[in-house]
Each structure stands twice: as structure tokens, then as C-alpha cells.
Amino acid sequence: MMKRKAAVLLMLALIVLGTPVFGDDGPQDSSFQRGTLRGYAGPGWSVLFGPGGTGEMASLGPVMFRISPRGYLGPVIAYEESASEGPGVFLGGVKAEGYLEKLSRGFYSTSAGISVLAGATGLNSTVEFTARINGELNANFHLFPYLCLAVGPLVSLRYESEDIAVLPGFTFALKEGTVFDATPLIPLKEGGLRVSGYWQGLWIFVDGRTGFVDGGGTHVQLTSGLAFGITGGVLRQRIERSGSDLAVMLTGVTAEWDRRLTSWFTLTPRVTAGLAMYGWQAPDGTMDGDPHFMIRPELSAYVGILPFMEVGGGVGYHIVTGKADTTIPLDRLSSVSFSIQARVGQR
């Protein structure tokens, strides 16, 4: 019975998917038909409230293609994780989004979206199948050309452990690329300053052990290719010792220079400087650790795969001053570093 209900709900969702995107007459003005590829990507987050008001936070990664004047369609991933472990839930699927022209004025627009996702839960313990249908209504604030802040209510229909539940919540996101035809709040001259962001997965070595830091940043790029911004990240991997989990948090400022060698290949030297927190989190939540100054020079290379996305990676050296003053010893904090990155926003 549960499987039958889930199948019916999935069919209804697929029918609804086409409505806000194509309208009644299909995608007559799609980017694909014009021979160009337009759209947006960027980080997003959702918070769902379960029984008793408990919150579940998920990171979202959509890549949306403009297929009609008011419609977008594309793949999306979602994952949930704790500070000391990798993803416990990982989902993949498709998202459709339509913009409501009558509820949009100036730098503001309203959009409705629906996502159909499926994947696994319990990745750090017992793995089970899970599926979700998310419906959202967003208020979009177009702050800069190619940069939009979105926030709004969310309702999720979740199938998990042979049970179906309806969970309320909200979502917020940064959309970077071509988002609707709105006038930005802060217009910038074409070919001038650009504001964009990136996701970064960083591997460092702590006390001789590999650690994965999940993070990202935002920067302002000048016409010369120089860019200045902020960045941060936290350890997303469980490293346990004496009953406590290693905790690492990095935050800082960046300076970099994009050397665009071809229309699709960019070489970027970057320097990141700021604070690095290293410590051990006990089972009761108490933290034993302290901050250190860190600086990380690195060299990255990017390949443009979409007009609004570049992917690449880099190598550098993560320099951390001083020694960790912790009860559980951490002997070596500085190390070589490796990273993978996805930069979004109009290239």
C-alpha cells in the first residue's frame, strides 16, 4: 500500500513539474532552441521540522537551465551531514522552477519550484532507501547582476522506512547566473565588477591523518582579474581518538588573480589568510581547542563547462602557526593541501 501511494504521488509530481516550466504552449523561447545555454547554479540549504520541532538541515546543489522565458529545469543534489561525519543522507534528482511574472517587480521576483529526489539515508550506520518531493515558494531578491538571494517556505513529502510523512520548513539559497529578467538592486556595468561564489572541498593533513574540509566562499572580481573575498569551511569527516572527535573550522579572506589563458581555461594563484580552529569535541559537546593563524598559498586551474560554471582544483600548502594546546595531543597542523572547486556565476 505504501509503495502504491508513493508511486501515485510521484506521478502527480511529474505532471506538476511541467506546468510552471513550459506553460500551455511548451518551451517556445528556450535557451536550447536559441543555440545558447543560460541558467544558474549556487549553494542552497533547507531546514525541515520533524516531530517535536526537531530540525533537519540539508545542503542543496542545483544546476538549473533556462528552458523558457520564465522556466528552469535541471539536476539537483541534497545531502545532510554533521560537523564530525560525512553525509548521512545523500539524494539526487530533478528540479523545476517557474517565475510568476505578475508577482514580480523591479529587483524582486516570486518563484515556485518542485523537486523529486531519491537516494540513501543512514550512510554512517544502516543504509536505507529514501525519496522526497519538495515544493517551495521563494521570494527572490536580485542584488547584483547574476547574483540573487532566495528565501521562502518549503513543504517536503518524505518516504523513509516504509513510512510517508509531510514535513514543513523553509529554504534559502544563492542563485548565481542568469535568474529571470529582473533589474538588479545594485546594477554593475557590463564587463566591470563581478560578484560570484564557489564551493570548495579541501584536503589537509592533521597530525598525519587526512581530513576533508567542506566549504566555499564569495569574492568580488575586478576587470583586471584580481579578486578579493571571504571563505570558510568545517571538517566533514570523523576522526576519533580517546572517545572524542576532531573538530576543524577554517575562516579567512582571499586574494587571487584569474589568468584566463583561453575562453575555457583559467589559471588562478590564490592566497588565503585567517583563523583555523583545531580541537576535540567530547561526547557531551564540550570543546577542547584553540584558534591559530593560518595562511595558505595555492595554485588552481579551472575549466569552463557552462556559461555560468567552472570546475577545477588546486594544490597548495596549509601553514598553521603554533601548536595545538589540547589534552589529546595534535603534533602537526601544517601540511600540503589539495582542493576541488566549482565556481558559479556568469563567466
Could you give the domains of the chain? 2-177 (2.40.160.20), 194-344 (2.40.160.20)
- Using one digit for the tens of pLDDT, what is the confidence trace for 183-212? 899 888 777 788 888 999 999 998 788 989
Q: How many CA atoms lie within 13 A of 300 on its CB side?
A: 29
Which H helix or E strand runs over 129?
A: strand 128-144
Grid coordinates representing 318 are: 596549509
CB atoms within 10 A of CB 58: 24
Cell 544558474 maps to which residue?
A: 40
Q: Which of 274, 280, 272, 318 is nearest to 292 (CA)?
A: 274
Q: 38 by DSSP, 3-state: which?
A: coil
Distance CA 109, CA 179 (A): 10
**Residue 168 CB neighbour total at 10 angstroms:** 12
The reported pLDDT for the residue numbered 180 is: 80
pLDDT tens-digit series, residues 265-293: 999 999 999 999 998 888 887 888 889 99
> Facing residues of 100 across strands?
110
DSSP letters for 55-68: EEEEEEEEEEEEEE
- Taking the C-alpha atoms of residue 161 and residue 31, their distance in angstroms, rounded to an integer, is 40
Tell me what pLDDT residue 86 has. Answer: 65
Residue 239 has what DSSP assignment? -
Low-confidence ranges of the chain (pLDDT < 50): 1-3, 5-35
CA distance 173 to 125: 29
Three-state SS at 44: strand
d(CA 180, CA 212): 36
Residue 82 has a pLDDT of 61
- In terms of Cα–Cα distance, which of 246, 187, 245, 252 is closest to 219? 252
